Structure 1
Amino acid sequence: MTTNAPRVLYILVCGSPMARDVGKLVAMAQSEGWEVCVITTPDGRNFVDVNALHRQTGHVVRTWYKKPGEPDQLPPADAMIVAPATVNTINKWAAGITDTLVLGLLVEGYGFEIPTAVVPYTNNVMARHPALHESLAKLSSWGVHVLYDARRLGQPGQIDRYRARFPWRLALRTVSERMTANSMLEPGAF
């Protein structure tokens, strides 16, 4: 059975001032035919305009797990982008911790073999911690597309100087290419 339903992209947003620009990624994805759902960590919700994203996507911005028995509010994801991804979320994800909805979706996403790209963003001081690099290596070894570039990191408190460098389009291109590659595989292969 062939369907013309749009592919569903989950954009998972963490607590970073870079998250203020997530609407750019939403618009890019929609222009390529994706149905977009935005899910934030509790801290990430503080950096986005929830009402504007709801209007832009047509979906509520989810942050917390639903209550038992409540229906799902979002369609299932075909791909996921975690952007911006904080050190906290990356390290918890690599450890299999699911104490936020974003982390729960990422851990399940691995089990469902959902193509996922992660765009870490922190300042260059926090980025020096070895746990971050160990976690990124672990995620990469699991098939997560890690889009980490230390040149995009800024000094603490100087994020506005680096906002234009954030690779929203690269993240979208990465999951789109992965979706195309997966569609060429034999049924059941990942």
Structure 2
Amino acid sequence: MTAPTPYLFCAAAPPLHYVAGAIEDAQARGWTVRLGLTPTAAAWLEDHLGGLEALTGNRVRSTYRRPGDASGWPAPDVIHFAPITANSLNAWALGLTPSWPVGVVVQAAGKGTPMVAMPCVNQALAAHPQVDRSVAALRDMGVTVLYGEGGWAPNPSGQGRPTEYPWHLVTDAADRFLPQQ
């Protein structure tokens, strides 16, 4: 049996700097991780992309490919998007495709691909009514959104807690969708 293939998508939020640990956890579960980043996340990790490619054994993607170019990635068994910012969360819920990872999850919803998301927003962003509407819309689409109790609880503005981001919750939730080896 081949290893499960999850896509791990990340937006530019402080826990992004700890994505290698999340990848290692997924690999310890027998997964072959494909890492996709929003363009801003890719810029934040620019000096580490080579190391992340070596860690995953796959090219890290952050941009749309040209028509006719091969993807190079197999279809995902599950997609997990974490950390996901308010910007990417709202775009996804509204069906907008401003970045490659968001475009993939918008289409994946129509394909019935299992998906897990865990926002990383502070209390000021979470206070905007669109965040709750977007979480509800994604849940209505069947996306497992780990937000609030049992997921990410927004922190006060200016008091980031990137080392406290519970990556394991995303991996555990995604694991439920993967074929068992």
Task: State the TM-score, normalized to the length of structure 2.
Answer: 0.91
User: What is the CA–CA distance in structure 1 between the aligned matches of 2:178 and 2:76, rounded to whole Å?
Assistant: 12
Deviation readout 1:39-64 (Å, 9 max, x if unpaired): 01111112332111101001111000
Partner of 1:149: 148
The DSSP-based 3-state class of the residue aligned with 2:171 is helix
Partner of 1:177: 176
Q: Give the deviation of 1:72 after TM superposition.
A: 1.2
**C-alpha contact 2:4 2:178 (8 A) present in aligned 1:** no
Partner of 2:3: 6
Letter in 1 for 2:3: P
Structure with the larger RCO, 1 or 2 (CA within 8 Å, 6+ apart): 2
Deviation readout 1:76-104 (Å, 9 max, x if unpaired): 21111101000000111011011211111
CA-atom RMSD in angstroms: 1.6
Letter in 2 for 1:31: A
User: What is the CA–CA distance in structure 2 between the aligned matches of 1:163 and 1:63, rounded to whole Å?
Assistant: 22
Letter in 2 for 1:154: N
Partner of 2:24: 27
User: What is the CA–CA distance in structure 2 between the aligned matches of 1:87 and 1:106, rounded to whole Å?
Assistant: 15
User: What is the CA–CA distance in structure 1 between the aligned matches of 2:67 and 2:163, rounded to whole Å?
Assistant: 41
Partner of 1:133: 132
Runs of 4+ aligned residues of structure 1 deviating over 6 Å after TM superposition are none
Question: Is 2:66 aligned against 1:55?
Answer: no
The DSSP-based 3-state class of the residue aligned with 1:80 is strand
Q: Give the deviation of 1:109 after TM superposition.
A: 1.1
**C-alpha contact 1:17 1:47 (8 A) present in aligned 2:** no
User: What is the CA–CA distance in structure 1 between the aligned matches of 2:75 and 2:177, rounded to whole Å?
Assistant: 17
Q: Which runs of no fewer than 5 residues in structure 2 stay unpaired?
A: none
User: What is the CA–CA distance in structure 1 between the aligned matches of 2:75 and 2:49, rounded to whole Å?
Assistant: 20
Out of 35, 40, 43, the residue aligned to residue 37 of structure 2 is: 40
User: What is the CA–CA distance in structure 2 between the aligned matches of 1:7 and 1:54, rounded to whole Å?
Assistant: 18
User: What is the CA–CA distance in structure 1 between the aligned matches of 2:57 and 2:177, rounded to whole Å?
Assistant: 25
Aligned positions, number? 176
The DSSP-based 3-state class of the residue aligned with 2:76 is coil
Between the aligned residues of both structures, percent identity stands at: 29
45-54 or 127-136: bigger deviation: 45-54
User: What is the CA–CA distance in structure 1 between the aligned matches of 2:31 and 2:128, rounded to whole Å?
Assistant: 35
User: What is the CA–CA distance in structure 1 between the aligned matches of 2:68 and 2:128, rounded to whole Å?
Assistant: 41
